Each structure stands twice: as C-alpha cells, then as structure tokens.
Structure 1
Amino acid sequence: MAPTLKVETLSQDAAKVAIEACEAKARSMGIPMNIAVTDSATHLLAFSRMDGAKITSISIAIDKAFTASGHRIGTHLYKEAVWPGGPAFGIGNSNGNRFTTIGGGLPVLGRNKEILGAIGCSTGTPAQDQEVAQAGIDALQKLLQSTRAKL
C-alpha cells in the first residue's frame, strides 16, 4: 500500500492549447464565449472572455469546468436526473451552489480514463457551449497522443 498518490493534471501550456481551440471554434460559429479550463482538482488554470461574451456567463463557464472536473462527467449528462423526484434533484445546491447541470462542461480524460481537468464554456445555448468545449477536448487529446508517441 502506497502512502501517497501521484495525480496527473493539465499543465498551463495544455490549458492554453484548449483555450485557443475553443476560441477558434467559437469564432467559426460566430458566438463569443467565456471559456474556463480547470485542473484535476477543480482549480481554475486558464480563462478567456472573448469580446462580446456575456458577462453573466463568466461564472457559469467556470462552474461548468468545476463540475465536469470534480464529478468526472459532462454537465449535460445530469439533464434528466435533476428534475423534481430525480435521483440528483437538488444537487445544484451542493458545493456552494457551484454544481451546475447546464450543458457545456466536459472532462479531460487521460489514457486510463483518469481525470486531468475540464473545460467549461458559456454564452451560447448549452449545445453550442458543449460544441465549443468539445473543440478544446479534441485539441487536448491530440496533444496528449502526440506527447505519448514521443515517450
């Protein structure tokens, strides 16, 4: 039994790669976004508020990344579970009201499905936010694969 754990997490450089990919996708869609990247412990690594992104969406993007990182699944997956009577009803009141079930937060998973961090996007519809976050995930997966190939 090991008395300590080694936890992999996204680096600042990786967070910048994710932000750039998300910004490019948001521009191609014509929707300015707030984009947050967290590490594996839910802490904010990087944030971008594109010109024209909604000010009220700043904390939403950060909380989407927080939720996806902390619970290790996309925020959109809670949709049915949070309705009154659902198994996760009231979960939005947890974690200082930071837990969000609005789509647009996606976890970044490592090769063994361990959580490395997350991306949260907000300003568009939940589906648009998720599409932009997915662009960041795709860029990070490419980066991770290229790095593994060099090892």
Structure 2
Amino acid sequence: MKAHFSLGDQEAQQALNAIHTELLKRNKTAVIAIADSHGELLALRRMDGAGLPSIQVATNKAYSAARLGEFTGDTGKAANTQGWSFSYYGELKYVGWDGGVPVWHQNQVVGSVAVSGLAPTEDRELAELGAKAILDHLNLELIA
C-alpha cells in the first residue's frame, strides 16, 4: 500500500499570501493558482488588473506542474529542444510556459504553485517563492 500526500487549503493559503504580498511590494498584478497532488485547484487568486487569459494559463501551469512533476518552463524547453508537441501527452491542459512549480514531499508530488501574467522568469520566481512558503510552513526543502 502506498501513502498519498497532498497539499490542502492551509498550504494553499501560505503560498497565496506569500506571492500576493510580494506582488504588492513590486506594484504588480498576476493570477496565482495552487493545485493538489492531482493538479486540481485548491485556490485561485486573480488580482485586480490581472488579465483574464492568465486565469486559465495559471490553472494549466499548476495542473501541468503537479501532473508531470516538473517545472513547466523546463517541460516547454524540452519540447522545443527535442521537437515534440504537447499533444504527445494526450492532454490539452499541459503547458510549457515558465511559472508552474511542483511541490515535492517524500519523493512524490504533493501539489503545485503557479503564477501567470508577468514575464516568464518572474512568474517562475514568484511561483518558487510560493512553493518555498509552503515548504517552510511544513519545515521541508524545495527540490528543483
């Protein structure tokens, strides 16, 4: 039998609050999505002024990171470098833009954090900040 771990509402709130606070410091807006171990949404925050397309993009980044267990930007780079399409997976929700970060615990993905609406590197940086907030709350380390 295998034990299954997954993020919950409390961990999602840790990530949302950390990212939201940082975005306010930077005077920027974005969409933040937190998913459980299956890639299903636990929380979504669209800040005032964030673009509507970023809602679906952030949701899909969180889904992709949790389901694939990879940083979404790394998956996208591999697809471009190796010349394969995301249709290879048979799932239209997978994306390869930076900004989706898996959260690991005991060698399994327990959820993910995603940000959309800014430059790809900033989306990823903020998603990592959210993942770190979760892991700090749980006294764990980020696996990159």
On whether the aligned pair clears a TM of 0.5, the verdict is yes
RMSD: 1.7
Asked which structure has the greater CA Rg, the reply is 1
Aligned match of 1:54 in 26, 36, 51?
51
Cα distance change on mapping 1:48 and 1:95 into 2, 3 Å: farther
- Give the secondary-structure state (helix, strand or coil) at the position aligned to 1:116: strand
Aligned to 2:122: 128
Instruction: Verify the 8 A CA contact 1:92 1:101 in the aligned structure 2.
Output: no
Segments of 5+ residues of structure 2 without an aligned counterpart are none
1:30-79 superposed Cα distances (whole Å, 9 cap, x missing partner): 22010000000111100000111111110000000000000011011124
1:69 aligns with 2:63: no
Q: 1:97 corresponds to which letter in structure 2?
A: L
Moved more, 55-64 or 129-138: 129-138
Distance in 2, matches of 1:25 and 1:95, equals: 36
Aligned to 2:104: 109
Aligned to 1:140: 134
Aligned match of 2:82 in 67, 82, 86?
86
TM-score (norm 2): 0.89
1:19 aligns with 2:16: yes
Instruction: Verify the 8 A CA contact 2:77 2:96 in the aligned structure 1.
Output: no
Moved more, 73-82 or 112-121: 73-82
- Give the secondary-structure state (helix, strand or coil) at the position aligned to 2:70: coil
Segments of 5+ residues of structure 1 without an aligned counterpart are 147-151
Deviation at 1:12, TM superposition (A): 0.8
How many residues end up aligned between the 2 structures? 140
Aligned to 1:97: 92
- Give the secondary-structure state (helix, strand or coil) at the position aligned to 2:78: coil
Distance in 2, matches of 1:93 and 1:60, equals: 19
Distance in 1, matches of 2:73 and 2:50, equals: 21
- Give the secondary-structure state (helix, strand or coil) at the position aligned to 1:117: strand
Instruction: Verify the 8 A CA contact 2:99 2:114 in the aligned structure 1.
Output: yes
Deviation at 1:93, TM superposition (A): 6.3
Large movers: runs of 4+ above 3 Å:
92-96
